[in-house]
Amino acid sequence: MKKYDDSNWKEEYKNYTSNKRYLELLENGAKSLSQGWILGHLYDKWKRLKGYDKFDPVENTGQMQSSFKDFEEKIK
């Protein structure tokens, strides 16, 4: 369950860019894999601009990583 409403993020992000390609992508959606990546990047930028990225789970901070040695010790 998200703690924020992102249902209108594309319309909101249009106010933050003047890039014609981004505006077209926000209007028409992704038509290829690479456009999907760009759209995902724009979504991440929108979340950072709005401060919503703080609600996302932390990934790969080093605290969550373990070594193979740690794994072997746990299974003994």
Q: Taking the domains of the chain in order of start, what are their residue ranges? A: 1-54
Residue 64 banded pLDDT, cuts 50, 70, 90: low
Q: Residue type at 69?
A: K
Is pLDDT at 69 greater than 80 in this prediction?
no
Which residue bears the tokens 């926000």?
A: 26
Q: How far apart are CA 37 and CA 55, in angstroms?
A: 21
Query: What mean pLDDT do residues 28-56 have?
Result: 92
Distances in Å between the Cα of 72 and the Cα atoms of 35, 60, 69, 75 are: 42, 20, 5, 5
Greater confidence (15 vs 6) lies with 15
Prediction pTM value: 0.69
For residue 59, what pLDDT is reported? Answer: 56
